[in-house]
């Protein structure tokens, strides 16, 4: 069977852990060449990866795929611009941009949340996606379109926290709401140029970000009770959706939020 992303060039931000790592590995398995990018080369200590000490690009290369790594803080314009330039310098173009890097500080109401926590969350989650879109779309507009006329795919990792209010997550929900509506706005401006901008809105998944809650009995039971499907999500669930949105099968999907939450938001 032919691979769905053969010959395409992708950047994944926050690729060292959790969702970003699973997305990078899955895109590579479908034939894409991946420029992995993160603020640290190896997975976060709290993650569920069994090969945490192996950087994602090395795991991809060890499995027979093509990948490189560039350190980049997704919230810094100079880093993101350099990241896109590196993809072009290494591989000549950019077909797929996955804006995945994100942070979560703590559960609290707005009364306890500090200005520093708000600024940090908005900088990485909202501004980081804005920067990733800005520089990736700039490159996609400059380069020769693919043979089918399409110019590129942008996949933003938002959250159900961008669609509904999640208890005790004020800045996080504000940041993901920004990602959701930026995704729609960019789809309006760039669909005419055949650049697809979409977002994935996952529910609760087993990654380092959520581990403290999964290990807390009360939180764990609450998350399961709020999720009608009998299990919570995994980074691999997110990765499969990212492969789909990057593939030709999703050509007419633009400005969409792919909700991936075991029916959490269907209630």
Which of 20, 152, 170, 262 touches ligand NAD by CB under 6 A?
A: 20
Nearer to ligand NAD, 65 or 202 (CB): 202
Q: How far is the CB of 149 from ligand NAD (least distance, A)?
A: 31
Q: What is the DSSP string of 130-165?
A: HHHHHHHHHHHHHSPPPTTS--EEEEEE--GGGTSP
Q: Which of 18, 132, 170, 262 binds ligand NAD (CB under 6 A)?
A: 18
Minimum gap (Å) between residue 147 Cβ and ligand NAD: 32
For position 16 contacting ligand NAD by CB under 6 A, the verdict is yes
Nearest-angstrom CA–CA distance, 243 and 245: 6
Q: Does 257 bind ligand NAD (CB under 6 A)?
A: no
Please list the residues that pair with 193 across neighbouring strands. none
Q: Which of 63, 58, 65, 78 has the alpha carbon at shortest distance from 15? A: 58
Fill in the per-residue mask, 81 to 100: x = in contact with ligand NAD (CB under 6 A), - = not in contact. -------------------x
Distance CA 238, CA 15 (A): 13
Across-strand partners of 155? 98, 198
Is residue 169 a contact residue for ligand NAD (CB under 6 A)?
Answer: no
Q: Kindly state whether residue 14 participates in binding ligand NAD, applying the rule CB under 6 A.
A: yes
- Comparing CB distances to ligand NAD, the nearer of 13 and 196 is 13
Quote the CA–CA distance of 11 and 154 in Å, as a whole number: 10
CA distance 202 to 64: 29
Phi (first) and psi of residue 65, to 5 degrees = -95, -175
Q: Which is nearer to ligand NAD, 27 or 124 (CB)?
A: 124
Catalytic, 172? Answer yes
Residue with tokens 């077909």: 95
Q: How many residues bind ligand NAD (CB under 6 A)?
A: 29
Query: Which helix or strand (DSSP H or E) is residue 29 part of?
Result: helix 18-29
Binding to ligand NAD by CB under 6 A, coded x per residue (else -) over 215-254, reads ----------------------------------------
- Of 58-77, binders to ligand NAD (CB under 6 A) are 73-75
CA angle centred on 142, ends 138 and 147, rounded to 5°: 120
Q: Which of the residues are catalytic?
A: 172
Residues that bind ligand NAD (CB under 6 A): 13-14, 16-20, 38-40, 44, 47, 73-75, 100-103, 124, 157, 159, 202, 204-205, 207-210
């Amino acid at each position: 069977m032919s691979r769905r992303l053969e010959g395409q060039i992708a950047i994944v931000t926050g690729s060292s852990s959790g969702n970003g790592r699973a997305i990078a590995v899955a895109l590579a398995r479908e034939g894409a060449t991946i420029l992995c990018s993160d603020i640290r080369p190896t997975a976060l200590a709290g993650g569920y990866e069994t090969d945490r000490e192996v950087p994602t690009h090395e795991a991809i290369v060890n499995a027979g795929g093509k990948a490189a790594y560039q350190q980049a803080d997704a919230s810094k314009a100079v880093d993101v611009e350099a990241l896109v330039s590196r993809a072009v310098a290494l591989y000549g173009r950019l077909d797929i941009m996955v804006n995945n890097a994100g942070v979560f500080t703590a559960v609290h109401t707005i009364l306890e949340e500090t200005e520093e926590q708000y600024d940090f969350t908005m900088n990485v989650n909202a501004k980081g996606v804005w920067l990733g879109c800005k520089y990736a779309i700039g490159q996609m507009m400059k380069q020769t379109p693919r043979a089918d006329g399409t110019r590129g795919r942008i996949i933003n990792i938002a959250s159900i926290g961008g669609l509904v209010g999640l208890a005790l997550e004020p800045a996080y929900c504000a940041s993901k709401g920004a990602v959701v509506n930026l995704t729609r706005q960019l789809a309006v401006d760039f669909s005419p140029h055949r650049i697809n901008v979409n977002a994935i809105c996952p529910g609760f998944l087993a990654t380092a970000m959520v581990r403290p809650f999964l290990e807390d009995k009360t939180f764990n039971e609450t998350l399961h009770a709020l999720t009608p499907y009998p299990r919570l999500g995994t980074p691999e669930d997110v990765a499969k959706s990212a492969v789909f949105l990057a593939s030709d099968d999703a050509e007419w999907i633009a400005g969409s939020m792919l909700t991936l939450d075991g029916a959490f938001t269907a209630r």
